[in-house]
Structure 1
Amino acid sequence: MRYIAFIHKEPGSSYGVSFPDVPGCISAGDTLEEAASNAVEALSGHARMIEADGETLPAPRSLDEIVADPALQVDREGAMLTVVPLVRDRGATTRINVSLDLGLLEAIDAAARARGQTRSAFLASAAKREIAE
């Protein structure tokens, strides 16, 4: 699931991120890249809180619906629009079976060791980064 986000930047401030379909979910970052990355974490955490309260996370609208919504006209002014994936942190891991080229597996293991990570942690962080792009 992917949500549209507005990114605003006022002179002398950080980049601010808000989600028109998820009221109250905001984030920020000193760079555009940091703001986008932090937005993924903010959306995940906000979804977890909403669901912990027994409520349902609002469904994301399409870009066309967001752009056509007259109630969002002021929020859209000067905003960059981006798409942010909802990456849920379920708090539980599961074992999977994947097939990789042996050379790629060796490179993954070397990179994981260099970062002080397990193979699983390395693959999970790489997948999260790829999904967030």
Structure 2
Amino acid sequence: MADYIALIHKDADSDFGVSVPDFPGCVTAGTTLDEARAMAAEALALHIEGMVEDGEAVPEPSSLTDIMRDRENRDAVAVLVPGPTRAAKAIRVNITLPEDALRLMDSYAEQHGLTRSGLILAATKRMMEAA
């Protein structure tokens, strides 16, 4: 799979936000630049996986020139994010969580541009890496 351009945005009082212009709605964030780049690759892989499952065509990467034509993109730093080598199959799982914990998780995920599944996956990966 090809590399795609991701845009990293940073406000003084926020984490590093990342968007992938070729995939509207594909956004994520990280507390550090390295984490933001890693989360971008993960978000892109999950987004493409969903498109494939839904039978949607995966777009070819846009050029940097095309992406920077949009004035809103000019305040960001462009980085290349590798597309997944193969789309991993997503498997639906059923978990049980306390309602208040679920509300907190959903709020946190929304504030950081993640889905509930993306948050659970990111947290799990961090815990495993730290072990």
TM-score scaled by structure 1? 0.61
Residue pairs, 1:76-91, within 5 angstroms? 76-87=73-84, 88-91=86-89
Deviating beyond 2 angstroms after TM superposition, the runs of 4 or more aligned structure 1 residues are 88-91
Q: Deviations over 1:45-77 (max 9, x none)?
A: 00000111111112111212222x3xx211x13
Asked if residue 54 in structure 1 is aligned to residue 52 in structure 2, the reply is no
Number of aligned positions between the proteins: 87
Call closer, same or farther: CA 1:56–1:26 in 2, change over 3 Å. same
Question: Taking every aligned residue pair, what percent have the same amino acid on both sides?
Answer: 44
* DSSP-derived class of the 1:59 partner: coil
Gaps of at least 5 residues in structure 2 are 90-131
Structure 1, residues 29-48: CA drift from partner, whole Å, max 9, x if none? 00001000110000000000
User: What is residue 32 of structure 2 aligned with on the other side?
Assistant: 31
The gaps in structure 1 that reach 5 residues or longer are 92-133
- Is 1:65 the counterpart of 2:62? The answer is no
Q: Provide the C-alpha distance between the structure 2 equivalents of 1:89 and 1:57, rounded to a whole number of angstroms.
A: 11
TM-score (norm 2): 0.62
SS of equivalent residue, structure 1 residue 77: helix
Question: Per the alignment, in what secondary structure is the counterpart of residue 75 of structure 2?
Answer: coil
Structure possessing the higher relative contact order (Cα contacts under 8 Å, 6 or more residues apart): 2
CA contact (8 A) 2:3 2:83 kept: yes
Q: Per-residue deviation at 1:89?
A: 4.0
Deviations 1:1-35 (A, max 9, x none): 01111100011111000011111101110000100
Larger radius of gyration: 1
Query: What is the letter of the counterpart of residue 56 of structure 2?
Result: E
Amino acid at match of 2:5: I
Q: State the Cα RMSD in Å.
A: 1.3
Q: Secondary structure at the match of 1:51?
A: helix
Which residue matches 1:11?
A: 12
Report SS of the residue matched to 1:57.
Answer: coil
